[in-house]
Chain A
Amino acid sequence: MPELIITKNIDIPGIDTLAVYREHGGYQALEKALNQYQPDELVEMVKQSGLRGRGGAGFPTGMKWSFLAKNDKPRYLCCNADESEPGTFKDRMLMEKNPHMLVEGVIITSYACRVSTAFIYVRGELALAGRQVERAVQEAYDAGLIGKNILGSDYSLEVIVHRGAGAYICGEESALMESLEGRRGYPRLKPPFPAVIGLYGGPTVINNCETLSTIPAIVENGAEWYAGFGTEKSKGTRIFCLSGHVNKPGNYELPLGTPLRTLIYDEQYGGGIPGNKNLKAIIPGGSSTFILGPDKVDTTLDFEAIAAAGSMLGSGGVIVLDEDTCIVGAILRMTEFYRDESCGKCTPCREGTYWMTEILERLEHGHGREKDVDLLMDICDNISGKSFCPLGDAATSSITSGIKLFREEFEYHVKHGHCMVGAGRTVPDTESVQGASLHAGAR
């Protein structure tokens, strides 16, 4: 088992309390940061570490911090803990089990970025995670780790835990700021970028929960140590959320550059596909990323290799589909998500996700038309790159890549009215719940 960083202490009983967290070295990184480093030196350290955002886009964290506009407006930090990308469940675990590590990361980052008010935006559905983070923040206030003159320094910080209320779009950074400002979660046009004009008009840094949870270890052990993990361009470790058709789904922290095959098949991790079925497809970074075929199973999990294979590392949500999965049904299910979660602000996304779902639904249920496959591609082309925020692009990823890889399955649906694989292979009769459920759309 390779060395762990983020999940190293996660199973220690009571690590979610301040006392136990401190027994295991907690808040020493904060002390070190405040006593030994100027803010700019910390920014430089994180740049040197090579840490890249763990939320989806993979932007270099230190560079993001250095982009903050230098003016006299108050600066803000937003921790994006609105985890809701289908296939992703790492931030929830971090918040539920080790919330102080996140809080420490928030305080250090706030100091490094000269922020005086930080927000932790926790997804509304994650009730326990929200309570854990709120409790950790309160404990930190009571211990003088947040508030005025932290640990006797001249640095002061307020931290507010803000709970979402059910909107995937608020994971998009500008929609998150709108939500924090007390409005509907509609994305903003960029530029200006949040680093220049963000929350309440001030320069704002927005980082993912896992990203911020990694900061204490980097400050504690140094940039060089962290950069020693991973590949030349993708440094460090990250949590891969493995789900779908594997024997042992779960969160696995691995150095970047680990082969997909290891994650899926190694006994320490996924342990292979149930029933020893064949691999059909892999979605490597949450449902917003392009589907990869089974020939890509030896690709390494780092930003560059996954991009070269034709997808993105995204949020680290690796979804595995076995040979019996109806690709039309699976893509329909993913597309329904984007239809339901489109905020409705811009037309290509609002209307396009609706129509794509309609067309996929009729294909899935045997009412498809011959031109539907091309029509889907055409709609994707009219959404991707033409919508306000990345949600529109994301909605097209599974469709374009799915059709590219499995076009014959779509056409089979048109011709035969049902799937060419799995339990949906025969026309599902109403008695067969198993077949209907595997085959989606029992509505």
Chain B
Amino acid sequence: MISEQAKQRMRNLAARYPVARSAVMPALYIVQQEEGYITQEGLQAVADAIGMTVDDVESVATFYTMYHQQQPGKRVIKVCTSISCYLRNCDKLVEHLEQRLGIKRGETTPDGNYTLLTTECLASCGTAPVLQVNNEFVENLTLETADALLDKLDRELKAGQARGTAPTEAEARPYVR
């Protein structure tokens, strides 16, 4: 469900830019925040708010990698594998995470907790190797600190489930404005 509030935010954005169409990227972030990924309903809502066709909105949504085309895990881990991290052994880090999570890069754990992605240079080359959890940086990683990080994330996720509450927005969603 795309909330009325979200629709209003999109309409406000369309009015803020010199041309309404410019609001399509921030609007896509809004519907992604609502539903976790870009759904058909989300595309339709953006199209209605901005005055574009659904196909046109989809052509934008599929160009940019930060719009999820399917439901990601509650924690999206993106490991940088570009040259500076490569020189600092990021491949070993990715393999370690694959083993620990029991999935390959690009996959989501069956319980829906984690998605593991490799990504292009994250502008953190001075603190390589580096990864992001839901778009927040974790830098200067070793295999030990990566394990400690996952232990912490496991505990957070378990605590959330024990409370029986849905994960908070910050827990569940990638960053959106």
| Complex interface: chain A residues within 8 A of B83 (CB) | 86-87, 244, 283, 287, 319, 330, 333-334, 337
Interface 0/1 of B49-63, CB less than 8 Å to A: 010100000011001
| Complex interface: chain B residues within 8 A of A160 (CB) | 16-17
- Report the Cα distance A181→B50, complex, angstroms: 12
- Report the Cα distance A260→B88, complex, angstroms: 21
Query: DSSP class of B's interface residues: helix, strand, loop or mixed?
Result: mixed
Number of interface residues of A (CB under 8 A): 63
- Report the Cα distance A243→B81, complex, angstroms: 14
Beta-carbon nearest neighbor of A185 in chain B: B63
Say yes or no: is A2 at the interface (Cβ < 8 Å to chain B): no
- Asked if A165 and B65 make an inter-chain contact with CB atoms under 8 angstroms apart, the answer reads yes
Interface 0/1 of B122-144, CB less than 8 Å to A: 11111110001001110000000
**Given A165-B66, A182-B21, A319-B84, does the pair A438, B119 have CB atoms closer than 8 Å?**
no
- Asked if A437 and B123 make an inter-chain contact with CB atoms under 8 angstroms apart, the answer reads no
How many residue pairs at the A-B interface have CB separations less than 8 Å?
160
- Asked if B25 and A162 make an inter-chain contact with CB atoms under 8 angstroms apart, the answer reads yes
Q: Among B22, B28, B91, B136, which residue has its beta carbon within 8 angstroms of that of A437? A: B91
- Asked if B63 and A437 make an inter-chain contact with CB atoms under 8 angstroms apart, the answer reads no
- Asked if B95 and A341 make an inter-chain contact with CB atoms under 8 angstroms apart, the answer reads no
Beta-carbon nearest neighbor of B90 in chain A: A437
Say yes or no: is A394 at the interface (Cβ < 8 Å to chain B): no
Beta-carbon nearest neighbor of A329 in chain B: B86
Q: Which of B19, B59, B89, B122 has the most C-beta atoms of chain A within 10 angstroms of its own C-beta? A: B122
Stretch at the interface among A18-26, A123-131, A381-389: A123-131
Q: Among A182, A325, A437, which residue has its beta carbon within 8 angstroms of that of B95? A: A437
Q: Among A242, A283, A341, A438, which residue has its beta carbon within 8 angstroms of that of B126? A: A242
Q: Among A166, A283, A317, A334, which residue has its beta carbon within 8 angstroms of that of B65? A: A166
Say yes or no: is B87 at the interface (Cβ < 8 Å to chain A): yes
- Asked if A243 and B18 make an inter-chain contact with CB atoms under 8 angstroms apart, the answer reads no
- Report the Cα distance A401→B24, complex, angstroms: 41
Query: DSSP class of A's interface residues: helix, strand, loop or mixed?
Result: mixed
| Complex interface: chain B residues within 8 A of A317 (CB) | 125
- Asked if B60 and A182 make an inter-chain contact with CB atoms under 8 angstroms apart, the answer reads yes
Determine how close the nearest CB of chain B comes to the CB of A135; give it in whole angstroms. 11
- Asked if A250 and B177 make an inter-chain contact with CB atoms under 8 angstroms apart, the answer reads no
Stretch at the interface among A88-96, A142-150, A306-314: A88-96
- Report the Cα distance A438→B87, complex, angstroms: 7
Determine how close the nearest CB of chain B comes to the CB of A90; give it in whole angstroms. 8
Say yes or no: is B82 at the interface (Cβ < 8 Å to chain A): yes
Interface 0/1 of A76-98, CB less than 8 Å to B: 00000001111111011000000
- Asked if A321 and B87 make an inter-chain contact with CB atoms under 8 angstroms apart, the answer reads yes
Say yes or no: is B43 at the interface (Cβ < 8 Å to chain A): no
| Complex interface: chain B residues within 8 A of A244 (CB) | 83-84, 87-88, 125
- Asked if A433 and B82 make an inter-chain contact with CB atoms under 8 angstroms apart, the answer reads no
- Asked if A92 and B26 make an inter-chain contact with CB atoms under 8 angstroms apart, the answer reads no
Say yes or no: is B120 at the interface (Cβ < 8 Å to chain A): yes
Contact residues, B1-57 vs A (CB, 8 A) = 16-19, 21-26, 28-29, 50, 52
| Complex interface: chain A residues within 8 A of B124 (CB) | 89, 92
| Complex interface: chain A residues within 8 A of B67 (CB) | 165-166
- Report the Cα distance A244→B86, complex, angstroms: 8
Interface 0/1 of A211-251, CB less than 8 Å to B: 00000000000000000000000000000011111000111
- Report the Cα distance A434→B91, complex, angstroms: 9
- Asked if A168 and B120 make an inter-chain contact with CB atoms under 8 angstroms apart, the answer reads yes
Q: Among A123, A241, A340, A442, which residue has its beta carbon within 8 angstroms of that of B125? A: A241
- Asked if B126 and A127 make an inter-chain contact with CB atoms under 8 angstroms apart, the answer reads no
| Complex interface: chain A residues within 8 A of B128 (CB) | 243, 249
Q: Among B21, B123, B127, which residue has its beta carbon within 8 angstroms of that of A126? A: B123
- Asked if B63 and A325 make an inter-chain contact with CB atoms under 8 angstroms apart, the answer reads no
| Complex interface: chain B residues within 8 A of A321 (CB) | 87
Q: Among B25, B82, B92, B135, which residue has its beta carbon within 8 angstroms of that of A86? A: B82
Query: Chain B interface (Cβ within 8 Å of chain A)?
Result: 16-19, 21-26, 28-29, 50, 52, 59-60, 63-67, 78, 81-84, 86-92, 94-95, 119-128, 132, 135-137, 175, 177
13 contacts between A and B (CB under 8 A): A74-B18, A92-B123, A167-B65, A180-B22, A182-B23, A183-B21, A200-B18, A319-B87, A319-B125, A330-B83, A330-B87, A433-B95, A440-B86
Please name 11 further chain A to chain B contacts, defined as beta carbons within 8 Å, in addition to the given A87-B121, A126-B123, A166-B65, sorted by A numbering.
A130-B177, A167-B65, A182-B21, A182-B50, A183-B59, A249-B84, A249-B126, A337-B82, A433-B95, A437-B91, A440-B86
Query: Chain A interface (Cβ within 8 Å of chain B)?
Result: 74, 83-89, 91-92, 117, 123-128, 130, 134, 160, 162-168, 179-185, 200, 241-245, 249-251, 283, 287, 317, 319, 321, 325, 330, 333-334, 337, 340-341, 343, 433-434, 436-438, 440, 442
